[in-house]
Structure 1
Amino acid sequence: MNMDKNKILQHCLLLGVFGSAVCTDGWKVSVVESLDALVSSCVVLPCTFSHPHENLPTSKLRGKWHVTSDRDQLIYYEDSTRVLENFRGRTKLLGKLGDGNCTLEMIEVKEHDSGPFCFRIEIARTPTDTSTPDKFSFVKNCVTLNMIHEPPKPSLAHKIPVEGYPFTITCSVTHTCPSHIPKLTWSRGSENEITEHHRKLQLGMWETQSILTFIPKEDDDHKDVTCTAEFNGQRTSEETMTLFVKRAVNYNHIIIPTVVAIITAGIFGGLCIFMMKKYKKRINELQSQDGTMWNRMSRISRRFRSNAPTPRHANQKSSNYVEENVSKPRFPSPKSQPKSYSYKQDMDNDDYMNTADGNIYGNI
């Protein structure tokens, strides 16, 4: 009899262990253990779950969020009358339970909304289905909120601005409320110069980026550019940077004279080539004609050389001219002598001269 009792006890223990394994198998949840929340703003608690039943529509499922210490202290339920008054109207599910999404949004975050908060799923089963449990609370996987009283400041990323070249500034800010993305604004720039991007960094953390692109000018040097982030609940923060515009290197004083010199040389070279071609063409035309100008000029040149006196004749003529000047008797000047005279008068003059000579010698 004692042996039968022992066997029955062993069977009960085995059934208890087996039943516990069955109850926990298939019930899983994925949440963030700790998450930052900006007071007076909003926060989103990402959550996914699974259950051992086949795919069920959302209408067959009931999701609850409650305080970990008491399942009846609900912070979210579809029947808002059962929700704690402090959370009533401030929480809602963002996902569909039929898709295994139990993400919770909380707005107007208050100082006492620290948690921890846990998710509970309830399945509306048929009266004949008694093989599996119909509800489960994930009390070992809850979310704790870290209260932040000051909004995070945006960060600015940029390179050195250069005058006349496109310049980009990236303003980034992290947040935990993707349902109400922070709005980023700039102190300058138009809509065409601004682009925005949103991305997920990790589970429960997102980033918003605003990219400003413009061309810096000389007047932008030492001017401030501010990026302002506005969070849900009208919480704002900003970050400012000062532009130090680098002057662009100007090579016009080198490029312009060089280009002018090249163009001038090209024009001059082109004219020279054109004149040479024209000159050669003219020469070829003259050489191709009968009785060319060169032949005519050669014949004329030979004629002049044949008619010109030789150097010997010229020297001889010069010698005769000298001899004639030496041997020719001297005539008196036309002013001192009459134009006409007789040979007799000359003879008388000669006799006179001789007489004088004789008289001289006779006196001696």
Structure 2
Amino acid sequence: MSARKRLLFRWLCLQVIFSTVFSKDWEAEVEPKIKALVKSCVVVPCTFNYPGTQLPDSRIRAIWHTQKKGDDIIYHEDRTKVLDSFKGRTTLLGRLGQKNCTLEIDGVRDHDNGPFCFRAEIPTLDKYSFTESCVTIFPTEDPDKPNLEKKEFLEEGVSTSFKCSTRHTCPSHPPTITWSFSNNEAIVNNRDIGHGIWEVESFLTFTPSEKDTHTELTCTINFYGGKHSTIQTPLYVKRKENIFHIIIPVAVVLGTALLFGVMCFFMSRKYKQQIQELQSGNGIWSRMSRMSQRNRQRNQPDLNMANLWSWTAALAFSCKMF
């Protein structure tokens, strides 16, 4: 093999090696599927890599386009190149110098499905469309129902916490949470749980009273774009036990028993006194006894005459028989 052919062969090998290395350096990670609320916004997490050293933002151009047509651009720094249906609705949130290509789509519409892909252009190097890593958006008309965490039974006078939360895709305009009770002590937290989903949660702390039982506690979540969702739960407050709840029933029972005992004592004493009067000589019982004795004595002759007549009649009847 001549020297010229050997040189050409080595050059071709180097081209294959460099093209393979460079093609591996062009990489992107994009969340493949995201459900987004219509009229709200959606943030598509995106990171990418390119060959060579890290460059500043000004040396890299970011473009988002549809997967089917690279010319159907939904984001470009030159807004004249953006599709009319996406003008003013897309914003690049990521820092290109930090290899972040995160995109926000505002005012989500029911036809914002995609798939949408990212393309990086580096004038001094190359440009690359990551059509193998695209995002598909699933617009939904109704927000998810909130989650409400609470104790089943509350205790009167004891501070209690409630948690109301929901998930969303719009961290730049997180939902607001309001309670039917006072919001003075409500704490709101918005955190990224990954895969293009954020969770906003509100913690309400208040001290229930007995009058709060059987009332409704309502948590209302207002989403960016005008939609809202609510959840309600009944409150059951258990009356706090204290010493008065023990003393009062015991005092009522003891008072009733004491009153009954006093009444029994006086009634027994009165009846004993009446019995003694009846049994005494000057009592009514004694007088009635003497009157009964006199009546028996007065009627005694009548009884004797009656007996005499009875014997006389019996004797006369006997004489007739003979």
- Structure 1 length-normalised TM: 0.63
What is the aligned partner in structure 2 of residue 163 from structure 1? 156
Query: Structure 1 unaligned runs (5+)?
Result: 126-132, 257-364
Distance 2:197 2:142 in 1: 17
User: Secondary structure in 2 aligned to 1:52?
Assistant: coil
Alpha-carbon contact 1:93-1:105 (below 8 Å) kept: yes
Letter in 2 for 1:189: S
Distance 1:153 1:200 in 2: 19
What is the aligned partner in structure 1 of residue 132 from structure 2? 140
Distance 1:236 1:194, change over 3 A: same
CA RMSD of aligned residues (A): 2.4
What is the aligned partner in structure 2 of residue 33 from structure 1? 32
Distance 1:7 1:54, change over 3 A: closer
What is the aligned partner in structure 2 of residue 280 from structure 1? none
Distance 1:220 1:253, change over 3 A: closer
Alpha-carbon contact 1:153-1:229 (below 8 Å) kept: no
Distance 1:112 1:9 in 2: 53
Alpha-carbon contact 2:163-2:201 (below 8 Å) kept: yes
Letter in 1 for 2:126: D
Q: Does 1:178 align with 2:171?
A: yes
Letter in 2 for 1:24: S
4+ residue segments displaced more than 6 Å: 6-13
Distance 1:190 1:56 in 2: 47
Matches within 5 A, 1:18-29: 18-29=17-28
Question: Residue 235 of structure 1: which of 205, 227, 242 is its match?
Answer: 227
Question: Residue 214 of structure 1: which of 201, 206, 213 is its match?
Answer: 206
**Following TM superposition, by how much is the alpha carbon of 1:16 offset from its aligned partner in structure 2, in angstroms?**
5.7
**Following TM superposition, by how much is the alpha carbon of 1:95 offset from its aligned partner in structure 2, in angstroms?**
1.8
Distance 1:53 1:39 in 2: 40
Distance 2:218 2:145 in 1: 12
- Flag the structure with larger Rg: 1
Q: Does 1:100 align with 2:72?
A: no
User: Secondary structure in 2 aligned to 1:114?
Assistant: coil
User: Secondary structure in 1 aligned to 2:190?
Assistant: strand
Distance 1:238 1:254, change over 3 A: closer
**Following TM superposition, by how much is the alpha carbon of 1:28 offset from its aligned partner in structure 2, in angstroms?**
1.9
What is the aligned partner in structure 2 of residue 205 from structure 1? 197
Alpha-carbon contact 1:66-1:117 (below 8 Å) kept: yes
Quick one: percent identity of the two aligned structures?
46
Question: Residue 187 of structure 1: which of 180, 205, 211 is its match?
Answer: 180
Alpha-carbon contact 2:156-2:207 (below 8 Å) kept: yes
Alpha-carbon contact 2:169-2:197 (below 8 Å) kept: yes
**Following TM superposition, by how much is the alpha carbon of 1:13 offset from its aligned partner in structure 2, in angstroms?**
6.9
> In the comparison of the two structures, how many residue pairs are matched?
247
Query: Structure 2 unaligned runs (5+)?
Result: 249-322
Alpha-carbon contact 1:43-1:177 (below 8 Å) kept: yes
Matches within 5 A, 1:344-363: none
Matches within 5 A, 1:231-310: 231-252=223-244
Alpha-carbon contact 2:22-2:51 (below 8 Å) kept: no
- Structure 2 length-normalised TM: 0.71
User: Secondary structure in 2 aligned to 1:21?
Assistant: helix
Distance 1:238 1:172 in 2: 11
Distance 2:214 2:246 in 1: 30
Distance 1:25 1:184 in 2: 46
**Following TM superposition, by how much is the alpha carbon of 1:175 offset from its aligned partner in structure 2, in angstroms?**
0.7
